[in-house]
């Protein structure tokens, strides 16, 4: 399948080429640039909310490369977030308090781990890949909880800058999300992106055409890991404390997936749109329903899967209105 | 030597529970091709049903087995009919996320109803045990194993002899051919998912006798259910039984690991998820179809 015919197939599916709808991408880019101004409001709460949105966006972009573009449903991307966070934590307890070093090290360590674990695990497909990746996240949480050098299950305190300079974490998280987004755009348009999509559409056919599937799958997984790892490296000092249950949380594994689906899977704008809506909604729920907010989040995931399985952007570009939409929902019924 | 025998017995006793845990999971996976991430939540509901019946109405946990089954079967049947059926033939991401969302929903409702406090079911025979040679066996765990074996036996007979059981097995083999022979597939899927949930409920009842009960108690059993299915072979009763017993024994020995390297103390009992992952990866690489699985499974 040539890159042109892949692009044509995507257009027919209403996805507007390999990077998705260009208008949506331009809008997201504009929102991103506007978000640079959030710290100017000098509102700690607001800054915190938007830093969380950017963090989830970076994780969603990381998942989108392997789950969205390459079609391998990973349920273990939180592992890389945790590795990034613990890199920052380790640097901090050894007296190195440099955010740039933490981000680079977190991203590289995550990528290295992704390559090492990816070579055996990416040979698995479908359910087996999904559960093996879920298991990796759980196993890492177990292992970290048992390592005294990493603070065990009681966690690590991570050094934080003083309040006057606290916005540095916001700008750092913004940069991570921005690089993840622009990186996704550039990767999707390159030979790499077309190879990912070819593997997703038909791995055997891709292999026949000379695409070395394992290499590209590991590449997609490792680049995605860098995005999550970098986000984790900023999260650790911004939060001031890390432990296995925060950094390897199964919820944090699944939220970015739900976000990517809501925004539009395998597009450049989708993960950010999804993160903005869902992380924003989660923040509001947390504020008004202290006890029940996770319940609502579960309900939102159910609603998204049942009513918006192809994402919001697909809905906006849909020809034929409510009828076509309702018809599309019954496509996978028994 | 006697420690070895004790570990072996402990493993078999725990393996019986794991077999029942995996049985429902295996049926849903093998027949509907759905990884049911809500399985742990149904186990938890079964355990709370037992707890409520025991503390409020003084129903013996073993007598509440059928009640757990019926309650959870009904819930599972309805959830399949009205929710999961919409995505049953969709790519795996849809059913994965949907069942995860359901699990979040159920666990958080349980947190509101029962809070996060840990409770337990303590019967008059809970503390009693007997000693055989040098091996100590708690009566409760022995009864649990017998119940687990009986449940897997009943399932095997029902699946091979009853009309519905045959229809289920036919659907697993070839949906199209089953449909042509007059099997109503949506109905069968709802029964299978109901069975999956019902068996999870039964497992929850058995678990409540020897493990603490709280809303997140089901989580560790989910990944184990998966490993047991892969280990034994997917979609068959004997696969779940053999996988469960084998994994019970493996885990019983692996959690005995206790070494100290420098100042770092490593204890297998804190690494149950890591053990599960290692077993999973080894089985997938060495014998992906499982111990009794067919080559095509």
Average pLDDT over residues B69-83: 95
**So what's the pLDDT on residue A62?**
96
Domain that holds residue B211: 2-286
**So what's the pLDDT on residue A295?**
87
Token pair listed for A183: 């990186």
Residue of A nearest to B33 (CA): A127
Please return the burial class of A89, using the count of CB atoms within 10 Å of its CB with bins 0-12, 13-18 and 19+: buried
Residue of B nearest to A72 (CA): B93
Q: What is the pLDDT of residues B119-159, one digit of tens each?
A: 988 888 877 888 887 888 888 889 889 999 999 999 999 99
Per CB-CB distance under 8 Å, the chain A contacts of B102 are: 298, 302
Per CB-CB distance under 8 Å, the chain B contacts of A270 are: none
- Containing A242, the helix (H) or strand (E) segment is strand A241-242
- Residue B272 pLDDT exceeds 50: yes
SS3 category, A240: coil
Least confident of A131-140, B184-193, B243-252, B270-279: B270-279
> Out of A128, A135, A148, whose CB is closest to B276?
A135
Per CB-CB distance under 8 Å, the chain B contacts of A136 are: 277
Average pLDDT over residues B94-102: 92
Average pLDDT over residues B11-30: 92
Please return the burial class of A100, using the count of CB atoms within 10 Å of its CB with bins 0-12, 13-18 and 19+: exposed
In a domain, B293, yes or no: no
Which CATH number belongs to the domain containing residue A304 in this structure? 1.10.3470
- Given the structure tokens 């809905």, which residue do they identify? A315
- Tell me the pairing of strands B135-138 and B129-132: antiparallel
Q: What residues contact residue B220 under an 8 Å CB cut-off, 6+ apart?
A: B40, B272, B273
| Tens-digit pLDDT string for chain A (334 aa) | 455 555 555 555 545 567 777 888 889 999 999 999 888 988 889 999 999 999 999 999 999 999 999 999 999 999 999 999 999 999 998 888 889 999 999 999 999 999 999 988 888 888 889 888 988 998 999 899 988 888 888 888 888 888 778 899 999 999 999 999 999 999 998 999 999 999 998 888 988 888 888 899 999 999 999 999 999 999 999 999 999 988 998 878 889 999 999 998 888 999 999 999 999 998 888 888 877 788 888 999 999 998 888 888 777 766 667 777 777 787 777 7
Per CB-CB distance under 8 Å, the chain B contacts of A257 are: 93, 97
Interface test with B, best of A82, A132, A133, A135 (most B CBs within 10 A): A135
Torsion of CA B202, B204, B210, B214, to 10 degrees: -160
Q: What is the pLDDT of residues B157-195, one digit of tens each?
A: 999 999 999 999 898 888 889 889 889 999 999 999 999
- Given the structure tokens 């698995």, which residue do they identify? A124
The answer to whether residue B282 neighbours chain A at the CB level (below 8 Å) is no
> Can you give chain B as a three-state secondary structure string?
CHHHHHHHHHHHHHHHHHHHHHHHHHHHHHHHCCCCCCHHHHHHHHHHHHHHHHHHHCCCCCCCHHHHHHHHHHHHHHHHHHCHHHHCCCCHHHHHHHHHHHHHHHHHHHHHHHCCCCECCCCCCCCCEEEECCEEEEHHHHHHHHHHHHHHHHHHHHHHHCHHHHHHHHHHHCHHHHHHCCCCHHHHHHHHHHHHHHHHHHHHHHHHHHCCECCCCCHHHHHHHHHHHHHHCCCCHHHHHHHHHHHHHHHHHHCCCEEEECCEEEEHHHCHHHHHHHHHHHHHHHCCCCCCCCCCC
A174 min Cα distance to partner chain B (Å): 28
Q: What is the CA radius of gyration of chain A?
A: 19
Helices (H), chain A: 3-12, 22-35, 44-63, 78-93, 99-121, 126-145, 167-189, 191-201, 203-208, 213-239, 244-247, 250-263, 270-288, 293-307, 312-316, 321-329
* Contact between residue A168 and residue A95 where contact means Cβ atoms under 8 Å apart: no
Average pLDDT over residues B73-87: 94
Contact B104 A301 (CB under 8 A): yes
DSSP string, A298-318: HHHHHHHHHH-TT-HHHHHT-
- Given the structure tokens 């998912």, which residue do they identify? B193
Residue of A nearest to B179 (CA): A334
Nearest to A116 by CA among A213, A225, A249, A195: A225
Per CB-CB distance under 8 Å, the chain A contacts of B276 are: 135, 138-139
**So what's the pLDDT on residue B273?**
83
**So what's the pLDDT on residue A8?**
57
Dist CA A172 CA A169 (whole Å): 5
As for the ipTM of the complex, it is: 0.87
Per CB-CB distance under 8 Å, the chain A contacts of B89 are: 332-334
Token pair listed for A49: 């909310």
B139 min Cα distance to partner chain A (Å): 31
Dist CA B59 CA B199 (whole Å): 19
Dist CA B121 CA B212 (whole Å): 8
Which CATH number belongs to the domain containing residue B49 in this structure? 1.10.3470
Interface test with A, best of B33, B87, B234, B289 (most A CBs within 10 A): B87
In a domain, B141, yes or no: yes
In a domain, B131, yes or no: yes
Token pair listed for A271: 């993960």
The answer to whether residue B89 neighbours chain A at the CB level (below 8 Å) is yes
Q: What residues contact residue B264 under an 8 Å CB cut-off, 6+ apart?
A: A147, A148, A149
In a domain, B291, yes or no: no
Nearest to A184 by CA among A286, A41, A67, A83: A67
**So what's the pLDDT on residue B262?**
75
Structurally, how many domains does chain A consist of? Answer: 1
> Out of B93, B219, B274, whose CB is closest to A143?
B274
Nearest to A198 by CA among A12, A13, A71, A74: A71
Per CB-CB distance under 8 Å, the chain A contacts of B86 are: 306, 329-330, 332-333
Contact B104 A309 (CB under 8 A): no
Nearest to A2 by CA among A190, A195, A268: A195
**So what's the pLDDT on residue A318?**
67
A43 min Cα distance to partner chain B (Å): 31
Per CB-CB distance under 8 Å, the chain A contacts of B233 are: none
Structurally, how many domains does chain B consist of? Answer: 1
Nearest to B32 by CA among B171, B239, B231: B171
Interface test with A, best of B101, B271, B272 (most A CBs within 10 A): B101
Nearest to A286 by CA among A52, A44, A17, A34: A52
* Contact between residue B227 and residue B247 where contact means Cβ atoms under 8 Å apart: yes
Q: What pLDDT band is residue B297 in, cutting at 50, 70 and 90?
A: very low
Q: How many other CB atoms sit within 10 Å of the CB of residue B154?
A: 11
Q: How many other CB atoms sit within 10 Å of the CB of residue A293?
A: 18
Token pair listed for A95: 């007296």
Nearest to B221 by CA among B206, B236, B238, B239: B206
SS3 category, A1: coil
């Amino acid at each position: 399948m040539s890159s042109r015919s892949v692009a044509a197939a995507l257009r027919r599916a209403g996805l507007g080429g390999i990077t998705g709808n260009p208008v949506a991408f331009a809008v997201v880019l504009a929102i991103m640039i506007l978000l640079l101004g959030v710290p100017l409001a000098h509102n700690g709460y607001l800054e915190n909310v938007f830093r969380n949105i950017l963090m989830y966006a970076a994780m969603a972009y990381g998942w989108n490369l392997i789950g969205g573009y390459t079609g391998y449903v990973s349920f273990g991307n939180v592992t890389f977030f945790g590795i990034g966070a613990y890199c920052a934590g380790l640097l901090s307890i050894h007296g190195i308090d440099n955010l740039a070093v933490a981000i680079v090290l977190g991203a590289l360590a995550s990528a290295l781990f992704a390559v090492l674990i990816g070579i055996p695990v990416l040979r698995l497909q479908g359910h087996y890949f999904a559960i093996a990746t879920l298991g990796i996240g759980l196993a890492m949480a177990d292992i970290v909880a048992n390592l005294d050098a990493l603070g065990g299950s009681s966690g690590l305190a991570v050094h934080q800058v003083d309040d006057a300079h606290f916005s540095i974490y916001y700008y750092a998280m913004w940069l991570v999300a921005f690089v993840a987004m622009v990186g996704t755009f550039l990767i999707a348009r390159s030979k790499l992106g077309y190879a990912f999509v070819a593997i997703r559409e038909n791995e055997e056919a891709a292999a026949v055409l000379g695409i070395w599937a394992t290499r590209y799958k590991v590449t997609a997984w490792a680049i995605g890991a860098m995005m999550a790892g970098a986000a984790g490296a900023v999260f650790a000092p911004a939060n001031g404390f890390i432990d296995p249950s925060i950094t390897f949380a199964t919820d944090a594994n699944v939220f970015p997936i739900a976000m990517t689906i809501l925004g539009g899977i395998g597009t450049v704008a989708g993960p950010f749109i999804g993160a903005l809506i869902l992380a924003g909604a989660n923040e509001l729920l947390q504020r008004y329903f202290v006890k029940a907010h996770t319940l609502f989040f579960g309900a939102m995931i159910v609603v998204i899967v049942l009513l918006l399985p192809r994402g919001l952007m697909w809905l906006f570009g849909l020809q034929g209105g409510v009828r076509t939409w309702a018809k599309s929902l019954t496509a996978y019924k028994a | 030597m006697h420690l070895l025998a004790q570990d072996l017995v402990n493993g078999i006793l725990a393996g019986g529970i794991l077999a029942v845990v995996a049985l429902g999971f295996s049926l849903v996976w093998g027949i509907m091709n759905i990884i049911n991430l809500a399985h742990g939540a149904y186990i938890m509901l079964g355990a709370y049903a037992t707890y409520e019946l025991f503390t409020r109405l003084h129903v013996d946990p073993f007598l509440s087995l059928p009640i757990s089954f019926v309650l959870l079967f009904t819930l599972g049947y309805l959830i399949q009919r009205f929710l999961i059926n919409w995505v049953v033939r969709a790519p795996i991401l849809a059913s994965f996320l949907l069942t995860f969302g359901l699990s979040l929903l159920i666990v958080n409702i349980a947190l509101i109803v029962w809070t996060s406090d840990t409770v337990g079911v303590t019967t008059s025979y809970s503390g009693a045990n007997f000693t055989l040679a040098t091996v100590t066996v708690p009566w409760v765990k022995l009864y649990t194993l017998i119940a687990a074996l009986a449940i897997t036996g009943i399932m095997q007979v029902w699946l091979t002899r009853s009309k519905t059981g045959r229809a289920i097995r036919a659907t697993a083999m070839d949906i199209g051919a089953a449909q042509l022979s007059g099997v109503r597939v949506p109905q069968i899927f709802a029964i299978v998912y109901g069975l999956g949930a019902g068996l999870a409920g039964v497992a929850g009842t058995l678990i409540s006798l020897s493990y603490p009960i709280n809303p997140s108690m089901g989580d560790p059993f989910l990944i184990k259910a998966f490993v047991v299915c892969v280990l034994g072979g997917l979609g068959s009763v004997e696969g779940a039984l053999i996988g469960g017993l084998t994994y019970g024994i493996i885990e019983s020995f692996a959690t005995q690991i206790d070494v100290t390297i420098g100042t770092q103390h490593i204890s297998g009992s804190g690494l149950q998820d890591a053990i599960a992952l290692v077993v999973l990866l080894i089985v997938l690489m060495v014998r992906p179809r499982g111990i009794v699985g067919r080559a095509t499974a």
